[in-house]
Copies of this chain bind each other. A is one copy, B any other.
Amino acid sequence: MVGEPLPSVRVAGEGAAAVKKEGALMVYRKWVDAPRGLPPGSLVVIEDRRGELLGCGLYDTVGPVALRLVELGSCSFSSAEEAVYALIEAAYKVRQRIGYAGDPEAGYRLVHSDGDMMPGLIVDVYADLAVYQSSSIVWDVHGETVARALAEITGVRHVYEKSLQRTRRDIGLPPREGLRIGNKTRTIIREGEARFIVDARIGQKTGFFLDQRLNRLDFGRLAEGTVLDLFSYTGGFGIQALLNGAERAVFVEEDEKAVKLLRSNLELNRVADRAEIVQSNVWSFLASATNKGESYNAISVDPPAFIPHPGAYRKGVQAYTRLYALSARIGSNDSLLALSSCSTHLNREDFMRVVARALAWSGRSYRPLGSVRGMPPDHPVRPSSPHLEYLKSIFIVLD
């Protein structure tokens, strides 16, 4: 059966230019002229004012973005369902190519929004469980298709939606959460020699921070002696270190649920006897460690976003500077320092400036290992969507 022709939507001026010249995948409502009553999630052909084809997109009715492009320069899809399947398939192929998908115990990001031509959708795969997060009514509408495609293409048996993020609230979308397929919200993934429990229900974001995978593995390889894992969450950095030659690790985490999972992860990896959990605010811990003159041979500093919105910039920069400086002060000679920030609003240059200031303030001499590390291969950042690049980390050896 040949389907109906797709509705077409015209994009004006700068909106069209951004798509054509930069490959932008989101078009603001002010540039868009759509047929009246077009339902949210409709697959549409996108043209500029003169009728030149710009691509295919999904029509959005909530918030400032009116079009989310899923194809550029041509429009080969005949239905939204077809597009969803094709896009998830393409995303999966790339993850296979880079070696992240395939292993049934693997954890990897399968869909990274614009980076995978699905602006507004995030999907993380944890072994047999996929967790997705929609930032748009477009993906709310197609949630069932997304869930089915995930199960069919990746082989997961359970699909959970966790769309609770602030950006939804900001544009007036309600939170959404629940099992869409299957019956499990908790599973175990493998990362190098380590295994981690992932619980979509209780965790931050989709349940686990896959973006730090390479940093955890490198930290594990480089860390020796006594390790400090600040904002440890469920223990990723410290456990990699314990499995790779570190003698002892101290985990500092405030959240009770995270501590519970951390404890289970330590047992799962048989390193509980070399671990100490401090359920505490990191600032109090640092004050006390400094007072007691403690020192550590390797420190991971991976705080939550201190700059959740642009208005928090100044305060956030102060917090990062102070945190990195205090951490550097309790590093032993030759100690490894892994400093991270996941604040989108702290760009890479600002991050470098913060690190430079913090280290100067700490009075410690140091040598960086390489430059600032960015997003891993399963978190593709489309050059036209630099806002997807939120994670910055730097590895430093203190003198």
Which residues of A are at the interface with B, using a C-beta cutoff of 8 A? 19-23, 71-73, 90-91, 93-94, 97-98, 115-117, 222, 334, 348-349, 351-353, 355-357, 359-361, 363-365, 367-384, 386, 388-389, 394-395, 397, 399
Chain B, residue nearest A18 (CB): B360
User: What is the CA–CA distance of A377 and B399 in the complex, to the nearest angstrom?
Assistant: 17
Interface majority SS (helix, strand, loop, mixed), chain A? mixed
Rounded to whole angstroms, the CA-CA distance of A389 and B365 in the bound complex is 20
Chain B residue with minimal CB distance to A20?
Answer: B360
Contact A383 B370 (CB under 8 A): no
Known interface pairs A90-B399, A397-B94. Does A23 touch B370 (Cβ–Cβ under 8 Å)?
no
Enumerate chain B residues within 8 angstroms of A374, measured Cβ to Cβ: 370-374
Which chain B positions have C-beta within 8 A of A394?
383
Measured between beta carbons, the chain B residues less than 8 angstroms from A377 are: 369-370, 395
CB atoms of A380 and B367 under 8 A apart: yes
Instruction: List the 7 closest pairs (A to B, CB-CB), nearest first.
Output: A371-B381, A352-B383, A370-B377, A356-B383, A356-B384, A23-B360, A371-B375
Contact flag A22-B353 (CB < 8 Å), given A368-B382, A369-B380, A374-B370? yes
What are 20 A-to-B residue pairs whose CB atoms are below 8 Å? A19-B360, A21-B357, A21-B361, A22-B357, A72-B360, A73-B365, A90-B399, A93-B334, A97-B222, A348-B348, A352-B386, A368-B380, A369-B380, A370-B375, A370-B377, A370-B381, A371-B379, A371-B380, A372-B374, A377-B395
| Distance in angstroms between the alpha carbons of A351 and B342 in the assembled complex | 22
Residues of B within 8 A of A91 (CB): 367
Taking the closest CB of chain B, its distance from the CB of A56, in whole angstroms, is: 11
A130 to chain B, nearest CB (A): 19
A73 and B372 in contact, given A352-B383, A356-B384 (Cβ under 8 angstroms)? no
Q: Would you call A383 and B355 a contact (CB within 8 A)?
A: yes
| Contacts A22-B360, A351-B383 known; 8 new A-B pairs at CB < 8 A | A23-B360, A97-B397, A115-B368, A353-B383, A356-B384, A359-B383, A368-B383, A370-B378
Q: Which of B23, B90, B356 contacts A382 (CB 8 A)?
A: B356
List residues of chain B with CB within 8 A of the CB of A360: 19-23, 72, 384
Note all chain B residues with C-beta closer than 8 A to A373. 374
For the complex, give the distance between the alpha carbons of A23 and B71 in Å.
47
A35 and B116 CA atoms in complex are apart in Å by 61
Nearest CB in chain B: distance from A195 CB, A: 24
Q: Which chain B residues border A351 with CB–CB below 8 Å?
A: 383
Cα A388 to Cα B370 with chains together (Å): 10
Which residues of the other chain, B, contact A357 by a CB distance below 8 angstroms? 21-22
Q: How far does the Cβ of A342 sit from chain B's closest Cβ, in whole Å?
A: 14
A168 to B173, CA, bound (A): 59
Q: Which residues of B contact A368 (CB under 8 A)?
A: 115, 380-383
Contact among B355, B371, B384 for A389, CB-based, below 8 A: B371
